[in-house]
A = this chain, B = another copy of it.
């Protein structure tokens, strides 16, 4: 093992506690041989494990068949994984960053040596999702993967929806409960979700997707007002990771989304994750569970270890890699078509909505519904009476919508463009 932090300790505990049943399933004992740690003197509840601070004591030991990487982060985990493969070892990793950035190259290098790299734990904790893509769903052409794959942000959004609190309060609560890091940027800015979407999209669409291909928008600018309108209009607000086969390329995006409340995904609350897959044969399937934590992550890592050990015993070769399609490109966000929720503050005067809708019409964007709430008090609104206007559009291109919203922001009657949020679901 490389790493013995929260996840690593969970994996080690599971391997020790379940040694007998693992041995029965594999047909021989699976022994945790040695663990790389930073500080060997730190007190741990794992006395029986041999510790080392020297990575080569794991990577170069010929007695070791499988290296479990649970360090997290790109470096040095990436180098260690490559070194393990060079030494003829199978690898199990929970590392979303390494697999998102370097997954296909790592898998190719391993396959060339007859080795496997298993990474079920890199997305969705213990929810089986890599396995189904590599096995159960492989008869399907996948048209779409839509997921809630960051528990921190889903917890925050659930609190905002249920309690009517603002973003800052919900974040503080998540931090107090240990669901959000002291520095929460990786989660709340959508970066973590984008890594996971990169891995899912590569598997689902057999395309070489890279993290910069994913358009990313975080949850930090959502307001209590948006949640009130969402509820009144029949929507939940979720940070969705969307991968979709569209005309001209792949849509790949992570952003807050108005999601129709009757969708199963809209009902995924708190720290839970869910991944919805649309395939041509299977239709819609959804996988739901805890996306993080020592227990769920250990479930995935230990399953990968058992599977590899069984295959080493039975003499089977590595999982064949389906070839990646080099022609599948990612669409820039400007070419994505979707529906929008637009909330803005304008002077409360006849003809204002007509001015706004004219700009949208000029961009060929048609409007599904309009709500106007009067007598909004602005801090620096002076004597003018203001109104909050909410528009739901039909499908439009992002380029047209952004251009229209920029023009609307320039209208003298418009005081503030509060929110522009994409809409999904029927």
Residue A52 at the B interface, CB < 8 A?
Answer: no
Cβ-neighbour of A136 out of B131, B282, B323 (below 8 A): B131
**Chain B, Cβ-Cβ closest to A285:** B289
In Å, the complex CA distance between A320 and B14 comes to: 21
Residue A377 at the B interface, CB < 8 A?
Answer: no
**Chain B, Cβ-Cβ closest to A279:** B299
Contact A135–B137 (Cβ < 8 Å): no
Interface hits, A246-301 → B, CB 8 Å: 264, 267-268, 279-290, 293, 295-296, 298-300
Contact A137–B303 (Cβ < 8 Å): yes
Which secondary structure characterizes the binding site on chain A?
A: mixed
Residue A402 at the B interface, CB < 8 A?
Answer: no
A12-26 contact mask (Cβ, 8 Å, vs B): 1 or 0: 001000100110111
Residue A355 at the B interface, CB < 8 A?
Answer: no
Nearest chain B CB to A391 CB, angstrom units: 30
Point out the residues of chain B lying under 8 angstroms from A284, CB to CB. 289-290
With A131-B131, A283-B290, A286-B287 known, 15 other A-B pairs at CB within 8 A are A21-B141, A126-B279, A128-B287, A131-B136, A135-B135, A136-B300, A140-B299, A264-B268, A281-B296, A281-B298, A281-B302, A282-B299, A285-B288, A286-B286, A286-B288
**Chain B, Cβ-Cβ closest to A321:** B25
Residue A132 at the B interface, CB < 8 A?
Answer: yes
Residue A315 at the B interface, CB < 8 A?
Answer: yes
Nearest chain B CB to A181 CB, angstrom units: 21
Report 9 cross-chain contacts, Cβ distance below 8 Å, ordered by A residue.
A14-B281, A126-B282, A131-B135, A139-B302, A286-B289, A288-B288, A310-B319, A310-B320, A316-B317
4 closest A-B pairs by beta carbon, nearest first, are A316-B316, A128-B136, A285-B289, A139-B302
Q: Which of A14, A120, A281, A283 has the most CB of B within 10 A?
A: A281
In Å, the complex CA distance between A113 and B319 comes to: 23
Point out the residues of chain B lying under 8 angstroms from A319, CB to CB. 310
Point out the residues of chain B lying under 8 angstroms from A137, CB to CB. 128, 299, 303
In Å, the complex CA distance between A383 and B342 comes to: 63
Interface hits, A204-246 → B, CB 8 Å: none
Point out the residues of chain B lying under 8 angstroms from A24, CB to CB. 322-323
